[in-house]
Amino acid sequence: MAKLSINEAAISGYTDIVQLDYLDLVNVIAGTNPWSGAALAVAGELPIGVIPAGGSMALVSVIETVAFAGTTSVVVNIGVTTTDPDEFIDALDVDAMTTGQAVSNTGDVMVKSAATTTFAGGYLPVSSSAAAQTVIFKIGDAAMGSATAGKLLIGMKINDLYQFSDAINI
C-alpha cells in the first residue's frame, strides 16, 4: 500500500494505491499478508487502506495491468465489511476485464440503483463514519495456485476532511 505524494494525488485524483501480483494473491488466499508475512485475520482478505474517522471513500478503481494466466476464476471485492467487503467493488470478474482498462465504483454503496453503475462524473463520497474503517481487498479463486502471471493495480480516493478541524479558525 502506498500513500501518494501531494503532487501525485493532485494529478491522478487518487490518494492511495495498491499493486498486487499473482504471487501476492496466492499468499492472500492462503491467509498470509504478502507484505509483512503476518497471518491475516481472515484468509483471502487483505487490509489495503484506512478511511480515517470522519473520512469517506470517493473513488475505487481496479485495473489489470498484466493479464492473468493459469486461472480463469479471479473475483475480487473491496469494501469495509469483514467477510463481505463489497461496498466499493462488488464481485469483479478480473478474467472478464480488458487488460489496461479500469473498472470503478461497482460496489453496493457506489451504485445508484440495481444494474446502474455509479454516477456520470464527479464524486459522491460514501461510507463516512465517526470511527476509522479498514478497507479490505477480498479475493476468491480456488485455482490461483495455478496462476503463472497477473497483476492488479488498485487506486482509491479517500477523503479526510476532519484533518482540517483544528487548522482553520474563522
Residue 98 domain-assigned?
yes
Tell me the three cell numbers of residue 15: 490518494
Residue 156 domain-assigned?
yes
Tell me the three cell numbers of residue 131: 470511527
- Burial string for 15-42 (b: 16+ CB within 10 Å, else e) reads bbbbebbbebbbbbbeebebeeeeebee
Residue 49 domain-assigned?
yes
82 pLDDT higher than 80:
yes
Q: Find out whether 157 and 59 touch, Cβ atoms under 8 Å.
A: yes
Residue 168 domain-assigned?
no
Q: Could you count the other beta carbons within 10 Å of the beta carbon of residue 143?
A: 12
- Burial string for 77-98 (b: 16+ CB within 10 Å, else e) reads bbbbeeeebbbbbbebebeebe
Residue 92 domain-assigned?
yes
Residue 141 domain-assigned?
yes
Mean pLDDT of 91-106: 92
How many domains is the chain partitioned into structurally?
Answer: 1
Give the confidence band of 95 by pLDDT, cuts at 50, 70, 90: confident
Write the pLDDT tens digit of every residue in 110-167. 876 655 555 555 566 778 888 999 999 999 888 888 999 999 999 999 988 888 777 6
Q: Could you count the other beta carbons within 10 Å of the beta carbon of residue 162?
A: 13
φ and ψ of 83, to 5 deg: 75, -20
**pTM for the complete prediction?**
0.88
Residue 169 domain-assigned?
no
Q: Find out whether 76 and 138 touch, Cβ atoms under 8 Å.
A: yes
The residue range of the domain holding 31 is 2-161
Residue 7 domain-assigned?
yes
